[in-house]
Amino acid sequence: MKPSISYITLGVDDLDRAVAFYRDVLGFPTDGIVGTEFESGAVAFFPLQSGLILALWPRESLAKDCGVEVKPRDVSSLMLAHNVSNREQVDHLVAELRYAGATIKKPPRELFWGGYGAIFQDPDGHLWEIVYNPHTAS
C-alpha cells in the first residue's frame, strides 16, 4: 500500500456544533452537512491541502458503520497539527481561538525540540497543535 491518507474522519457528539466550530472558528470551507436523507449518513466534509479531506461524522454513526460500540472518548489517542511559518502566527491564532471560546490546553510556549507551539481542543475534545517548527518550512 502506498503511504497516503485521503480522509481524516473525526467522530463528534453534536454535528451541528462541530461544523460551526470548524467553519466559523477555524475558517475551514465546507458545503455543510450532507447525507441527511440516509440513516446514519449525516456528515460534513472540509477540503484541505493536496486533496486531503477532513470529515466530521456523529460518533454513533461512525461506530455503527464500523461495527464497533461507542465508547467513552479518549482524547489522548489522536492529535492533529497545524504548522505555521513563525512564532507570531502561533500567538495570533491562539488569541483568535481563545476569543472564539476554544479550550486552550497549553498556551504558546517554547518546545523542548526548538519549536514554539500551543494546544487547543475542539468542542468534542479532539486535540490540535498549532506549531512553528524552525527546522521545516510550513
Nearest of 119, 125, 55 to residue 93 by alpha carbon: 119
**What pLDDT is attached to residue 129?**
97
Do 37 and 85 belong together in one domain?
A: no
Give 124's contacts (C-beta < 8 A, 6+ positions apart).
10, 11, 12, 13, 14, 18, 73
Do 55 and 83 belong together in one domain?
A: no
**What pLDDT is attached to residue 10?**
96
Do 62 and 100 belong together in one domain?
A: no
CB 18 within 8 A of CB 122: yes
Do 62 and 80 belong together in one domain?
A: no
Mean of pLDDT values over 45-55: 95
Q: Per-residue pLDDT tens for 96-122?
A: 999 999 999 999 999 999 999 999 999
Do 41 and 80 belong together in one domain?
A: no
- Please provide residue 14's backbone torsions phi and psi, each rounded to the nearest 5 degrees: -135, 100
Strand pairing class (53-58; 33-34): unpaired
Residue range(s) defining the domain that contains residue 45: 7-66
Percent of the chain scoring above 70 in pLDDT? 99
C-beta neighbour count of 40 within 10 angstroms: 14
CATH number at residue 97: 3.10.180.10
Do 46 and 14 belong together in one domain?
A: yes
Do 32 and 83 belong together in one domain?
A: no
Give 14's contacts (C-beta < 8 A, 6+ positions apart).
123, 124
Q: Per-residue pLDDT tens for 90-99?
A: 999 999 999 9
pLDDT-derived band of residue 64, with 50, 70 and 90 as boundaries?
A: very high
